[in-house]
């Protein structure tokens, strides 16, 4: 009986996007905090649950099929779960893909948010809501660095524009209906669980495959794009901390350190004892092994975007002050974590670091 009472007292968290990088780490984190975790999973012809299989197998989380584009589904889920906290991490999250799927990106990343907020307003107005907002809102002009909560927005893709709508509608519902709703403006964060088509994972996987003699070289886009890359496992704690505030707030989460794609490549090769020498310019630029002169990196315009976000680097001083969040993993350590993982495993699945 005591056990039952304890169970009933657990807080309930509902995560959309639980099968993604952040959703899976957040589920791990909240379970450690003794939450009951509920997740929404999209139906697909093959299982998409690799990142959370360890939780499903041990029956630690409950998941329901659903989609952010379906109002009935959202309403039913909130009615049944009655969550204390809602983390909206679901999105068409790939910037380049958003140029190819602009309508769908808006459908999910903008309208999906209004569906959720309306459902909260009607069904569970006391639930706390976290919105996965993004540094892409800032547009990445070098003159705006470091970007903070006060930097003006300048979205440069259908993804960023859709996320900007989401940002404002969260603020709007917070003011109009007194919902506890926060925007976490997160800068890029990576991990062994990062999707294979994002640049960091593409690089660490590619370099590992070169080391395993499964791949000859990596083909990449803009080498001079700069990002503020942190470790996803730490960033999900920032999300949770935001929802523990007394008053809702929008906060930037970042490391404050900038690294180029070029440097990330060099660090990844350094991990396997290889130094890269660059020759040529623009799409003709190539990276060679200093010792053997073998070509390891090639540039292709296939991976350039119609509009580029060149330089993102955040200032998360307000997050430190308000929620006591600071980054712990620097870029070299992040590369080490991702490289060690990719050298050991061919894909994520076994050891979900």
Asked if 44 touches ligand GDD (CB under 6 A), the answer is: no
Q: Which of 11, 60, 69, 285 binds ligand NAP (CB under 6 A)?
A: 69
Q: What is the DSSP letter of 265?
A: H
Q: Which of 159, 231, 235, 341 is catalytic?
A: 159
Q: Which of 17, 139, 146, 287 binds ligand NAP (CB under 6 A)?
A: 17
Q: Are 78 and 119 in contact (CB under 8 A)?
A: yes
Q: Total number of residues binding ligand NAP (CB under 6 A)?
A: 26
Annotation marks residue 285 as catalytic: no
| Whole-angstrom distance, CA of residue 279 vs CA of residue 78 | 56
With CB cut-offs between 5 and 8 Å by kind, which of ligand GDD, ligand NAP, none does residue 23 bind? ligand NAP
**Binding marks (x or -) toward ligand GDD, 76..105, rule CB under 6 A?**
-----------------x-x----------
Annotation marks residue 200 as catalytic: no
Query: Which sign does the torsion angle of CA 202, 109, 184, 306 carry?
Result: positive
Asked if 186 touches ligand NAP (CB under 6 A), the answer is: yes
Which DSSP string corresponds to 70-97?
-HHHHHHHHHHH--SEEEE--S---HHH
Residues 6+ apart with CB under 8 A from 195: 20, 21, 93, 94, 201
Residue 83 or 155 having the CB closest to ligand GDD: 155
Q: Measured at CB, which residue is nearest to ligand NAP?
A: 20
CA distances from 332 to 266, 338, 347 (A): 11, 10, 21
Q: Are 243 and 209 in contact (CB under 8 A)?
A: no
Could you tell me the smallest distance in angstroms from the CB atom of residue 215 to ligand NAP? 23
Could you tell me the smallest distance in angstroms from the CB atom of residue 122 to ligand NAP? 20
Q: Which of 38, 63, 87, 187 binds ligand GDD (CB under 6 A)?
A: 187
Pairing of strands 286-289, 276-279: antiparallel
Catalytic residues: 134, 136, 159
């Amino acid at each position: 009986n005591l056990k039952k009472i304890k169970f009933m007292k657990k807080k309930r968290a509902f995560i959309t996007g639980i099968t993604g990088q952040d959703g899976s780490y957040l589920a791990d984190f909240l379970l450690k905090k003794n939450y009951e975790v509920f997740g929404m999973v999209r139906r697909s012809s093959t299982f998409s649950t690799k990142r959370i299989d360890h939780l499903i197998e041990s029956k630690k989380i409950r998941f329901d099929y659903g989609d952010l584009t379906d109002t009935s589904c959202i309403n039913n889920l909130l009615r049944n779960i009655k969550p204390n906290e809602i983390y909206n991490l679901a999105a068409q999250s790939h910037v380049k893909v958003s140029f190819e799927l602009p309508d769908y990106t808006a459908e999910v990343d903008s309208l999906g948010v209004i569906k959720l907020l309306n459902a909260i307003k009607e069904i569970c107005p006391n639930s706390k809501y976290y919105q996965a907002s993004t540094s892409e809102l800032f547009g990445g002009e070098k003159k705006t660095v470091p970007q903070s909560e006060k930097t003006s927005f300048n979205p440069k893709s259908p993804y960023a524009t859709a996320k900007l709508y989401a940002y404002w509608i969260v603020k709007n519902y917070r003011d109009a209906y007194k919902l506890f709703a926060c925007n976490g403006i997160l800068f890029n964060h990576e991990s062994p669980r990062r999707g294979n088509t994002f640049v960091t994972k593409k690089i660490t996987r590619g370099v590992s495959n070169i080391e395993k003699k499964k791949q000859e070289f990596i083909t990449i886009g803009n080498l001079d794009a700069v990002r503020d890359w942190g470790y996803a496992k730490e960033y999900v704690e920032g999300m949770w901390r935001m929802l523990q505030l007394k008053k809702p707030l929008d906060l930037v989460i970042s490391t404050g350190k900038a690294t180029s794609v070029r440097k990330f490549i060099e660090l990844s090769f350094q991990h396997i004892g290889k130094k890269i020498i660059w020759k040529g310019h623009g799409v003709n630029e190539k990276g060679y092994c200093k010792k053997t002169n073998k070509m390891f990196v090639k540039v292709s315009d296939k991976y350039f975007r119609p509009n580029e976000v060149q330089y993102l680097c955040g200032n998360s001083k307000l997050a430190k002050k308000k929620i006591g969040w600071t980054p712990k993993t620097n870029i070299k350590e992040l590369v080490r974590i991702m490289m060690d993982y990719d050298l050991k495993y061919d894909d994520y699945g076994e050891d979900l670091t």
